[in-house]
Amino acid sequence: MKTIEEIRKYLRCGQFEFSYHAFKRAVERKTSESEIREMVESAEIIEDYPDDKYAPSCLLLGFTKSGRPVHMQVTLIETSEGLIKIITMYQPDEEGWINNFSVRR
């Protein structure tokens, strides 16, 4: 998987696509593209999945300008220019996470 700076670069430039699941969740939760760009500025990798089912991925935690926490699982799609695929995206709940949504209970 790439570093957080490389992931940010792809997301800032709009070099990303949604999985069907992530797109569906974004619509259900009314998450806008501007919120994705906002959360990316504070995003950190909180979990790494090098042996994920289809390709290495990682879980990001970032916050929108309004302070809304967002978890986003991403993977790199190998193309000539590279592309980040958003596998899933959700607002974490306080029951499942501690340390400001960065560590699973």
The domain ranges of the chain are: 4-95
State the Cα–Cα distance between residues 105 and 98, nearest whole angstrom. Answer: 6
3-state secondary structure of 82: coil
Query: Which tokens hold the place of 104?
Result: 């699973």
Helices vs. strands in the chain: H and E counts, helices first: 3, 7
Q: What are the tens digits of pLDDT across the range 34-92? A: 888 899 999 999 999 999 988 899 999 999 999 999 999 999 887 667 789 999 999 99
| Element containing residue 63 per DSSP (H, E) | strand 57-63
